[in-house]
């Protein structure tokens, strides 16, 4: 697999966004969850399983990884996060892409589908729904510092976090993460009735969000739902071995025609 030169960035008025590319083929944007970074896609096995099939475009969300980390809550409004994705794919000269997002990354994907559906070929979204979400648990968690937040994530993962994953969480900027969850997520009213692209939803059977994800699946046209046995919200992200075949098949069914 071909890998890009290190540390490519784009600037979205005025936030600097870091991204990486690896592989060749149809373009697939990967957006990670809260307090993670691009490195999580490697560690959980997603790059190994998908990088041989697609041109992976992995983005460090604002406030995370090597991207800028503003401390103002308004910097993390959904419209700004969506614009970060669009700035990356515009810079790469891509008109339409496939999109894979987990948790916070799935929320950003819903924002893309809501405001720029014409830029999407397909979506695969995990652990997310459009009905609004109380973020007070996250606010309380990060308020205790990054070491405490890392322990909470490790507990949620059943104690199976790697040392490198824990260090990655602990290295986050606590003020940036606090700003990122300062507001509850608003409902995206009527998204299921708007112009849509084929969507695959996935969720752990022990994830508290399961009922809302199931509801969303029933309301969204052209949607398939994959449930992961014996997995909660954190553990599902690490189920790449079980999820990758379904996501691969989903994306392959909606590949960009060669003439485009």
| More confident site: 251 or 221 | 251
Q: What is the pLDDT of residues 89-133, one digit of tens each?
A: 999 999 999 999 999 999 999 999 999 999 999 999 999 999 999
Burial of 193-228, coded b for 16+ CB within 10 Å and e otherwise, reads: eeebbbbbbbbbeebebbebbeebbeebeebebbbb
Supply the pLDDT for residue 258. Answer: 43
Which fold does the domain 9-133+189-252 belong to in CATH?
Rossmann fold (3.40.50)
- CA 128/CA 219 separation, integer angstroms: 14
How far apart are alpha carbons 7 and 140 in whole angstroms? 32
Q: What is the pLDDT of residue 256?
A: 57
Tell me the average pLDDT across 229-236: 93
Residue 242 pLDDT greater than 90, yes or no: yes
pLDDT at residue 4 is higher than 60? no
**Confidence band of 66 (pLDDT split at 50, 70, 90):** very high
In this prediction, residues 5-18 reach a mean pLDDT of 85
- Which SS3 state, helix, strand or coil, does residue 68 take? coil
From residue 226, give the alpha-carbon distance in Å to each of 17, 81, 86, 203, 245. 31, 26, 27, 7, 11
Give the model confidence (pLDDT) of 132-165 as tens digits.
Answer: 999 999 999 999 999 999 999 988 877 777 888 8
Over residues 238-258, the mean pLDDT reads 86
Which pLDDT does position 156 carry in this prediction? 81
Burial 131-145 (b: 16+ CB within 10 A, else e): bebebeebbebbeee
What pLDDT, in 10s, does the model give residues 18-54? Answer: 999 999 999 999 999 999 999 999 999 999 999 999 9
Q: What are the extents of the domains in the chain?
A: 9-133+189-252
Give the pLDDT score at 221: 80
pLDDT score recorded for residue 257: 53
Question: Does the predicted model carry a pTM greater than 0.95?
Answer: no
pLDDT at site 155 = 86
Q: What residue has token string 């490195």? A: 39
Q: What is the pLDDT of residues 185-221, one digit of tens each?
A: 999 977 766 656 889 999 999 999 999 999 999 988 8
Q: How confident is the model at residue 6 (pLDDT cuts 50, 70, 90)?
A: low
């Amino acid at each position: 697999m071909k890998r890009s030169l290190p540390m490519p960035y784009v600037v979205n008025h005025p936030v600097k966004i870091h991204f990486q590319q690896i592989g060749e083929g149809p373009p697939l944007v990967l957006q990670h969850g809260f307090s993670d970074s691009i490195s999580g896609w490697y560690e959980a096995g997603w790059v190994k399983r998908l990088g041989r099939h697609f041109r992976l475009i992995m983005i460090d969300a604002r406030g995370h990884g090597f991207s800028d980390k503003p401390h103002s809550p308004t910097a993390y409004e959904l419209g700004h996060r969506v614009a970060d994705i669009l700035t990356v794919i515009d810079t790469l000269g891509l008109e339409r892409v496939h999109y894979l997002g987990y948790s916070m990354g799935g929320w950003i994907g819903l924002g893309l589908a809501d405001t720029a559906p014409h830029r999407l070929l397909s979506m695969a979204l995990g652990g997310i729904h459009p009905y609004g979400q109380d973020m007070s648990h996250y606010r309380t968690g990060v308020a205790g510092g990054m070491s405490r937040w890392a322990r909470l994530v490790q507990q949620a993962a059943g104690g199976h976090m790697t040392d490198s994953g824990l260090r990655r969480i602990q290295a986050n900027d606590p003020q940036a993460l606090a700003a990122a969850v300062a507001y509850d997520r608003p409902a995206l009213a009527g998204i299921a009735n708007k112009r849509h692209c084929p969507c695959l939803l996935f969720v752990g059977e022990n994830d508290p969000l399961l009922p809302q994800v199931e509801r969303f699946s029933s309301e969204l046209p052209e949607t398939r739902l994959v449930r992961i046995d014996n997995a909660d919200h954190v553990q599902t992200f690490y189920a790449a071995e079980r999820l990758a075949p379904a996501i691969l098949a989903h994306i392959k069914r909606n590949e960009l025609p060669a003439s485009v």
